[in-house]
């Protein structure tokens, strides 16, 4: 695998910072450009970030002195890279326009944003679950009139814990309905306790747009390609409540699930233990060796103890037991800015690289 030159658009925000951190010493990707808003453009990355650096480790040395480019100067950024990660904080219609501008400049875009998640010919991919959806890129290129350029997105952080846990159970047992309550860390809002002191000792029972994403995005992940678009699955039916809780990182989910053909608890645990996907088959650099980990202890997974499992790219599951209204219930956990955001984006880019979409 040759090294690809990579840019981060929206590099000064929290997810952008995570992308910059993950690209340090990456075996396939070399960070060669950082871009942000006009107010940051022209400064060094260290100056532009200032006291807003939110990672638990210093800014990578290489990134510190890089001059921040203006993200809206598409041709300038695109000329320096083979593809970009996009993590901008803008209105959705502005993000859609910006990402399409990069794609039409023949610069592929791997996006953390939600703006294109329901564009029918844009693949929204969790590499272990629906890697085959990247095939829709050929149809997207025809629509955009591009040879190299395209947009691929990752799904919302809120569903990164429970969708992987449901996925291995669907084929054999037929998941029919699911109720999920998510307990989401403040970094999902791009915040720290220092910047959001109101969240200390607090829980807010509302995150704008999150419940709709949690209910609808899984159906696109489980959909199929037909006539040049991705057709969402019709089931399972999902209902969700999403709460913001006083944790720095880590989204937890309490899941209630029913099946067409009710499995035993032993069958469920076996499916979780044996499950792997294309990310593991291809040995992608950021892929966890074991994607799903089940804890037998009654008080696990715990956010503080388990969010960094396999470099924050694995899913932790626990407390599987029968339920009085549904067939079973369990709890699961994912790291929201690693598996759920920038880490999931890097893993998607590795899949695209391995399959030749950046060539």
Q: Residue 16 contacts by C-beta under 8 Å, 6 or more apart in sequence?
A: 8, 9, 10, 34, 36, 85, 87, 342
What phi and psi, each to the nearest 5 degrees, are found at residue 57?
-150, 165
Tell me the residue ranges of DSSP E strands in 61-169. Answer: 69-70, 83-86, 109-111, 151-153
Exposed (0-12), middle (13-18) or buried (19+): which is 75, by Cβ within 10 Å?
A: exposed
Answer whether 348's CB lies under 8 Å from 322's CB.
no
Active-site annotation, residues? 157, 251
Of all residues in the chain, what percent are helix, strand and coil, respectively (each to 5)? Answer: 35, 25, 40
Reference 88, options 36, 34, 153; nearest CA is 36
- How far is Cα 53 from Cα 130, in angstroms, rounded to an integer? 33
């Amino acid at each position: 695998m040759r090294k690809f030159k990579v840019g981060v658009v929206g590099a000064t925000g929290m997810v952008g910072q995570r992308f910059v951190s993950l690209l340090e010493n990456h075996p396939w990707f070399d960070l060669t450009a950082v871009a942000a808003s006009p107010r940051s453009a022209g400064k060094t990355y260290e100056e532009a970030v200032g006291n807003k650096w939110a990672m638990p480790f210093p800014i990578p040395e290489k990134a510190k002195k890089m001059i921040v480019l203006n993200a809206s100067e598409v041709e300038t950024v695109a000329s320096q890279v083979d593809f970009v990660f996009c993590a901008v904080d803008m209105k959705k219609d502005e993000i859609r326009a910006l990402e399409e501008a990069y794609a039409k400049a023949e610069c592929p875009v791997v996006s953390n944003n939600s703006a294109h998640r329901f564009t029918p010919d844009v693949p929204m991919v969790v590499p272990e679950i629906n890697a085959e959806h990247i095939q829709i890129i050929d149809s997207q290129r025809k629509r955009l009139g591009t040879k190299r350029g395209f947009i691929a997105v990752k799904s919302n952080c809120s569903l990164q814990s429970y969708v992987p846990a449901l996925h291995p159970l669907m084929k054999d047992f037929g998941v029919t309905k699911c109720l999920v309550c998510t307990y989401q860390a403040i970094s999902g809002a791009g915040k720290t306790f220092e910047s959001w002191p109101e969240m200390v000792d607090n829980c807010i029972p509302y995150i704008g747009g999150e419940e709709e994403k949690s209910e609808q995005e899984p159906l696109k992940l489980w959909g199929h390609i037909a006539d040049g678009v991705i057709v969402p699955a019709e089931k399972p039916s999902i209902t969700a409540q999403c709460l913001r809780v006083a944790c720095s990182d880590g989204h937890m989910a309490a899941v209630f699930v029913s099946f067409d053909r009710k499995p035993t608890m032993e069958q469920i645990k076996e499916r979780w233990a044996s499950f792997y996907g294309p990310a593991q088959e291809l040995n992608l650099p950021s892929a966890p060796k074991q994607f799903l980990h089940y804890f037998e202890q009654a008080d696990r997974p715990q956010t503080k103890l388990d969010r960094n499992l396999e470099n924050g790219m694995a899913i932790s599951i626990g407390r599987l037991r029968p339920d009085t209204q549904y067939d079973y219930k369990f709890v699961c956990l994912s790291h929201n800015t690693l598996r759920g955001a920038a880490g999931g984006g890097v893993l998607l880019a590795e899949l695209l690289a391995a399959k030749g979409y950046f060539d």
